[in-house]
Structure 1
Amino acid sequence: MINRRSFVKLAAAGAAAGSFGMPWIARAAKPITLKLADSLPTTHYSMPIIKHWIKQIEDGTEGRIRFEHYPAEQLASARDLLDAVQTRIADVAYIPAQYFSEKLPMATVGSLPIPEIKADIYALEAAYYEIGLGILDEVEFRDAGIRALRASSTEAYNLHMVSRKIVTLDDLSGQKIRVGGNVQQQAITALGGIPVTVTPPEIYNAMQNGTLDGTVFHIPSIHSYKLNDLVRYSTDNLNLGVFNSYYAMNRDLWDDLPPDIQAVFDKVGRDLIRFEGDTISRQSDIWRTEFRKQGIEVYDLAPEVIDETTRRLTPIRQKWVELYETRNLPARRVVDAWVAALKKHARA
């Protein structure tokens, strides 16, 4: 029986002809150029982070690795990025787990609301990086034909509404809210809203034409996709989980890299956590102030509303475990590893 990774390798054979007889890295007489694909617009807050990551790898390998960066869906659409890296259309790609919940279900563990652990952006990224190179690599990424290089996380997600201010959860009833993935669908349903799945580049038009009344997002992404032109109300203390992603390399390509180059990728991936955390925290504060000046009401929900939200969201974790264990996936092991990593890094 052929598995997913074997199928992908066969599909990619034409594109990578000549690369399997012996390690192609060893035959390279000049710098290796890697195609890096993502769906993020060039105005996205993470662009300076991506450029920093690229530079650190190029410098760390003394020019032996070079990147061609294709942002804004230039090489593959947001929905096709996983296939692109599996089939070597791209060598490295942005993989937001929530977009690929059917193909990478265990990687969506990072989006589960876990309100009992107060983890900042640094702890969230460090924990997701740890499980990406650990249990997720073991149970999911190897078979999918990818290898995580770096992890990224948002701050806790909030509600951003076009015209209705959410004061109690009753105000969310019947509102069409953009979500990213199955876990956020469950969260919005539990809170009384109507979840609608669209990719971030599609949100602006969907808000303009009334397809969406609001979105689950965090402050930097509201700015990146220019949604502050449309949003008028933003909650600031509601924890609707986070949005995690990896930048991942084609697995066969990773396996062919010399150990010293692999070590550079891993060191830069670890070091990037502090740089990215500092960047996101700083930009969030700046944009929060700018939004208020622009007339957007950025506000906290009352404590009793937060308590009710937590009560409704807590069962989602157990439902997630039960759903995937019926498919013979190690969901409990993955959740336990994620919670343990969060606790460890939240204390660091």
Structure 2
Amino acid sequence: MSTDQTPNTALSRRALLGGMAASPVALTLGGTVLSAGGLLPSLAQAQTTLKISHQFPGGTLTEGDFRDRLCRKFAAQVEAETKGALKFEVYPASSLMKTVAQLQALRKGALDFTLYPMPYGGGEIPEMNLGLMPCLVTSYEQGLAWKKKPIGEALTKALEAKGVKILTWVWQAGGVAARGTPVLHPADVKGIKIRGGSREMDMMFKAAGAAVSSIPSNEIYAGMQTGNLDAAVTSSTSLISFKLEEQSKSLTAARQKSFWYMLEPLMMSKIVFDGLPAAQQKALLTVGESLEPFGLEEARKDDQRVAEIYAKAGVKVVDMDDKVMDEWRAIARDTAWKDFADRSAEAAALLKLAEDVA
């Protein structure tokens, strides 16, 4: 079944799924009974074109932002695995829908997949704020270990209860691009306007004396260009893809230490996933997990590449060390960590599970 079918011939899958997500009332279409619990296999098998949306610049299977390449690799491999039963359309640069709107669309079944910065969804799903908690995750190994630890199980359960299924765990380290002197110690942010990337990062920066901005990463360039931002923290890959070296005089790189590790997974609508046959579900899960080493390798490469690209452009590049990290962690514990834990007993338990992963 094509995703561009007209209302005169059939109900679109997205309208149908959206309605089912909003109401528990069963629907009947062509003699087939459908309920909010899922689609019967006969209908699911007919819906072969799925859409993947993300905010990052587009490219090809072999060139460009690795997050876009990951989506394209996923699409190609699942299509091959299912012998063409599932096909995909990839929409980069928020060309299908606005960045923040993607999560709600995913939850309702109006969007099939998104590669999405976890903290962007913290307002809808509070547990997602753990995906960018300053100084909580300080290495790729630590972040990726979440998946098979109690914190990963708890986070997965919480997201699936809200209609979101993680297929590929991707962590990214981040650095700080600044229009002026390097942002290294907490004292360096006093009096400047900085983009942190999450509510919790912003709390840490506010406590250090900064003003904050909550814009998505694809709007940082314009913010720095107009002077509305003095500095911005984002992933090494975004620092490259959005060409922020053109607006920067200094870079705090993530190649050694970083207070900014973000979970940015490829996620699928659970409504859509549950409506697919078991064999197709297995293909999605298998391919999704198989791409995690690719995500790790490319994120690490970009931590090195960003420093080289910025240095070549004449930007001053500095690195964090353990002493600097300790300074930031002390602030993060008293602000962002405390705020999250104080929300509820469940939130405190989740944070403790995350802290337990060394």
For Structure 1 versus Structure 2, the TM-score category normalised by the shorter chain is 0.7 to 0.9
Aligned to 1:219: 236
Of the structure 1 ranges 243-252 and 295-304, higher mean CA displacement relative to structure 2 is found in 295-304
Shift of 1:50: 1.8
1:162 counterpart = 2:183: no
Shift of 1:131: 6.7
Change (3 A) 1:222 1:11: farther
| Aligned pairs (5 A) from 1:84-233 | 84-114=105-135, 118-120=138-140, 122-128=141-147, 134-138=153-157, 140-155=158-173, 157-166=174-183, 168-233=185-250
In the comparison of the two structures, how many residue pairs are matched? 331
Q: Which residue is 1:261 aligned to?
A: 280
Distance of aligned partners of 1:59 and 1:253 in 2 relative to their CA distance in 1, 3 Å threshold: same
Partner of 2:295: 276
Which residue does 2:101 correspond to in 1? 80
Structure 2 residue aligned with 1:242: 261
Question: Which residue of structure 2 aligns with residue 346 of structure 1?
Answer: none
User: What is the rounded CA distance, in whole Å, between the counterparts of 1:240 and 1:142 in structure 2?
Assistant: 28
1:36 maps to 52
1:10 lines up with 2:29 in the alignment: no
**Distance across 1 between alignment mates of 2:19 and 2:286:** 31
User: Counterpart amino acid of 1:134?
Assistant: E
How large is the RMSD of aligned CA atoms in angstroms?
A: 3.1
Matched, 1:20 2:37: no
| Structure 1 pair 34–309 and aligned structure 2 pair: CA distance change class (3 A) | same
Secondary structure of 1:160's partner?
Answer: strand
1:33/1:67 contact within 8 Å kept: yes
Partner residue, 2:341: 322
2: distance between equivalents of 1:19 and 1:210? 56
Structure 1 CA distance for aligned equivalents of residues 148 and 97 of structure 2 = 24
- Could you tell me whether the CA contact under 8 Å between 1:96 and 1:244 is conserved in 2? yes
User: 1:337–1:8: structure 2 CA closer, same or farther, 3 Å change rule?
Assistant: farther
Equivalent-residue separation in structure 2 for 1:200 and 1:182 (angstroms): 14
Q: TM-score, normalised by structure 2?
A: 0.81
TM-score w.r.t. the length of structure 1 is 0.83
Q: Deviations over 1:135-178 (max 9, x none)?
A: 1232x3233222222222212x3322112234643332111001
**What are structure 1's unaligned runs of at least 5 residues?**
344-348
Q: How far 1:84 moved relative to its partner?
A: 1.6
Letter in 1 for 2:329: T
Report the CA distance between 1:225 and its aligned residue: 0.8
Query: Within 1, Cα distance between the matches of 2:199 and 2:321?
Result: 27
Q: Percent of aligned positions with the same letter in both sequences?
A: 20
Name which structure has the greater RCO, CA cutoff 8 Å, separation 6+: 1
Contact kept in structure 2, 1:133 and 1:148, CA below 8 Å:
no
How far, CA to CA, are the matches of 1:23 and 1:88 in structure 2? Answer: 12
Provide the secondary structure at the position in 2 that maps to 1:77: coil
Summarize deviations over 1:265-309 as a string: whole Å, max 9, x none. 222222211111112222332332222121111112576544322
| Alpha carbons 1:75, 1:90 under 8 Å: kept | no
2:164–2:267 CA contact under 8 A, matched in 1 = yes
For 1:54, what is the secondary structure of its paired residue?
helix
Question: Structure 2: any 5+ residue segments left out of the alignment?
Answer: 1-16, 59-63
1:333 has 2:353 as partner: no
- Whether contact under 8 Å (1:126, 1:273) holds in the other structure is no
Kept after mapping to 2: 8 A contact 1:110/1:244 = yes
Cα deviation, 1:308-331, whole Å, max 9, x if unaligned, reads 223222334541343321xxx611
Partner of 1:46: 67
Kept in 2: contact 1:40–1:73 (CA 8 A):
yes
Tell me how far apart the structure 1 counterparts of residues 25 and 114 of structure 2 sit (CA, whole Å): 19
Contact 1:110 1:338 in 2 (8 A): no
Q: Does the aligned pair in 2 maintain the 1:162–1:213 contact within 8 Å?
A: yes
Task: Determine the C-alpha separation between the residues in 1 that align with 2:134 and 2:340.
Answer: 13
* 2: CA distance, partners of 1:29 / 1:238: 47
Letter in 2 for 1:119: S
> Whole-Å Cα distance in 2 between the matches of residues 133 and 238 of structure 1?
23
Indicate if the aligned counterparts of 1:34 and 1:66 stay in contact, CA closer than 8 A. yes
Whole-Å Cα distance in 2 between the matches of residues 303 and 148 of structure 1?
32
- Change in Cα spacing, 1:97 to 1:65, as seen in structure 2 (3 Å) is same
